[in-house]
Amino acid sequence: MLRCEDGDAYGTVQAPPEIVRHWGEARNRLLVGRLVVHAALAREESCGAHCRSDHPLPNPASISRTLTLSELAGTAGPLPGDAACCIL
C-alpha cells in the first residue's frame, strides 16, 4: 500500500502472479525438506539408507509412522542455521 503525507492511499502494489507462484513452490519445498530432516532426526532405528550406529536394526512398528505438521510445531526446535524459518 502506498500512502502520501496525509495518509490517503494511492493504490496497492501486487507482485506478478508468477512471482507469487514461485514463492509458494519454494516455501512448499522448504517445508518438505524440513519435515524430512526432522523425521530423520526423530528416527530411532535404521531403515533403508538411514543407518544409525546406536540403533542398527529396523523397527517394524515404525514402518508406517506418520509425522504431521502439528506434531512438529509442538516438539521440533529450530535446526542449526535455521533462525529465519519455522514450521507453523
Grid look-up 529465519 returns 84
| 47 contacts 65 by C-beta, under 8 angstroms | no
pTM exceeds 0.85, yes or no:
no
**Could you tell me which residue, 24 or 86, shows the higher pLDDT?**
24
Q: Tens digit of pLDDT for each residue in 2-32?
A: 566 666 655 566 777 888 888 889 988 988 8
The pLDDT of residue 88 is above 60: no
Name, in order, each residue with C-beta under 8 angstroms of 36's C-beta and a sequence gap of 6 or more: none
Across all residues in the chain, what is the average pLDDT? Answer: 71
